[in-house]
Chain A
């Protein structure tokens, strides 16, 4: 399951709560270039969703402040709340396509994306997926593209590092029984075996479980030298805590969603040494990112939840603006079909917070992977791969 909280996962009322917040222009004027954004503004994933939406809104405002897309024409983003619920996601996609006739919309959360895919494909509207990491996302259809690297990118890089730089040969995998867990665990296992290692244990757990003793003991019995956890963000601290308490002191790794200050806060000293992946450059790498993080501290008094994801959401309006610019230059009508053509023609974008992004014909992107490790209570970058 992609979402954690059952209450709104299937909202009691399958109605749609649409908080339409069109971002008007500040300094730009003229017929706007419009696109949609369907993300969870409320509901269980709102913690991440609302920060991502804010990042995108900042980007649109910044673009318009700098003169808009082209000829002073502003960028206009229609924000719709999906509550990370597939059925509401369908409603919102319908609105984007049939009520607003927009050529492209940005979306995330694997279950929502899967539900929206047929609508995007049937209506020839481009769906830009930012943040869902299941490899299936790239195969959802002609009009579904991801601008965020899928699980195979970061996990393969992680495996490479573990095998070559850290000499790990026996890996155990613990994963949650949902889309993200199953797919991610499969990628890790395949990559590890391919590079020459052995998978000594592969255990799954139910996403409602709170006691992982059995699975952990099975892992312990298999005697691994590294353990990979493909879990939900909320499970991971518990799993690591129980692992340490049951005497497993091996290196623990996990994936990009776990790269969060909350993880260290929840575990304290037990978080030391854990390695996770990150798919966006951090403040130390890039002055733009540093400025971005400083802006969060100034305006919100805190770092964003899921910083790398917000970086990608900040960059996406820039990508969209670039494509609109290309379409305008070629005199194309603002249809989804044309957007897609123009997007693939441009295919390489220099984006402010995540650097160069190349959209591949396989509907995905490949980006550098940053490996982060908890050292002395803080995340420290230990390697850049790819």
Chain B
């Protein structure tokens, strides 16, 4: 039973991550792939505040959420000032650089990871309660994102994604809207990270590398970009299908790569044959500009 509950907790956390990631790459059309980095910041910040400074986790978690949101501005603002493409590289560099940084700093536990993070409340929380907390959070996050995208702000974000020049002409400052969206999504990711930290009580830097980004991408693409249910389906699939695969009784040394192959193939297949994902949304992947996006300098 606990085993299933732990699985539920993971699914819930990934729903939060996938939905907030969809906010950035789907709704806002921004190529920031450093989502796991903010998951990491949330996890580490909350863990360290609770472990080293003795803060009660119930206080540390919101603070970590804000920290994650704030740190996203460090990445998005300078990069967006240049262009959207640079955001991709900047976010990639930020994520990998963060991992390097954590590995080299003593107080974060170095590459061995941060262990013995205090549980949510003294004396620990039962898995059932925690699963409930995570699932409720996931529901709130999904609802929140849906509300936001249907609000004026959401319409501005959509307009920005579809045609930036026009949106700019309408008087909205595009850069700040983008920065805010990323900050919101990153804060949510940080919240998920903090929740993770106080349940599993152990985090390592490699948990947040580019493979996690790829996993989130898979969830969003296969689930359905820019839909409410897409990231949820994606998260569910990616967490439960591996369980089913184990019943195929594959030799263990090909099990890992086989799972990876299955999912990369899935993403590629979906991208080309059903770009809108399992849960159909709007015209999924068409970019706003043709491929002239790169400012190519004559050399």
Q: Once the chains bind, are A86 and B3 in contact (CB under 8 Å)?
A: no
Interface string of A160-182 (1 = CB under 8 A from B): 00000000000000000111001
Size band of the B side of the interface?
A: 35 or more
Instruction: Check: B151 CB closer than 8 A to any chain A CB.
Output: no
Instruction: Check: B103 CB closer than 8 A to any chain A CB.
Output: yes
Instruction: Check: A236 CB closer than 8 A to any chain B CB.
Output: no
Interface string of A75-94 (1 = CB under 8 A from B): 00000010100110011001
CB distance from B256 to the nearest CB of A (A): 5
Instruction: Check: B274 CB closer than 8 A to any chain A CB.
Output: no
Q: Once the chains bind, are A13 and B215 in contact (CB under 8 Å)?
A: yes
Q: Once the chains bind, are B256 and A98 in contact (CB under 8 Å)?
A: no
CB distance from B116 to the nearest CB of A (A): 7
Q: Once the chains bind, are A12 and B113 in contact (CB under 8 Å)?
A: no
What residues of chain B lie closer than 8 Å to A94, measured between beta carbons?
A: 2-3, 6
Q: Once the chains bind, are B200 and A46 in contact (CB under 8 Å)?
A: no
Instruction: Check: A198 CB closer than 8 A to any chain B CB.
Output: no
Interface centre among A6, A9, A10, A13 (most CB of B within 10 A): A13
Interface stretch, picked from A110-118, A303-311, A346-354, is A110-118
CB distance from B12 to the nearest CB of A (A): 13
Q: Once the chains bind, are A46 and B252 in contact (CB under 8 Å)?
A: yes
Q: Once the chains bind, are B111 and A98 in contact (CB under 8 Å)?
A: no
Q: A16-B242, A115-B202 are in contact. Are A177 and B116 (CB under 8 A)?
A: no
Contact of B202 among A15, A16, A86, A98 (CB under 8 A): A86
Instruction: Check: A14 CB closer than 8 A to any chain B CB.
Output: yes
> How many residue pairs between the two chains, A and B, have CB atoms under 8 Å in the bound complex?
140
Size band of the A side of the interface?
A: 35 or more
In the complex, A12 Cα to B238 Cα: how many Å?
9
Q: Once the chains bind, are B252 and A19 in contact (CB under 8 Å)?
A: yes
Instruction: Check: A42 CB closer than 8 A to any chain B CB.
Output: yes
> Using a CB–CB distance below 8 Å, which chain B residues touch chain A?
1-3, 6-7, 10, 14, 100, 103-104, 110-113, 115-116, 124, 127, 200-202, 204, 206-209, 211-212, 214-215, 218, 238-243, 245-246, 252-257, 259-260, 263
- 19 A-B pairs with CB atoms under 8 Å apart are A2-B112, A7-B257, A10-B208, A15-B240, A17-B242, A17-B256, A42-B253, A43-B256, A46-B252, A46-B253, A50-B253, A86-B204, A86-B207, A97-B2, A99-B2, A99-B3, A110-B112, A115-B115, A178-B111
> Using a CB–CB distance below 8 Å, which chain A residues touch chain B?
1-2, 6-19, 41-43, 46, 50, 81, 83, 86-87, 90-91, 94-95, 97-99, 110-111, 114-115, 117-118, 122, 134, 136, 140, 177-179, 182, 206-207
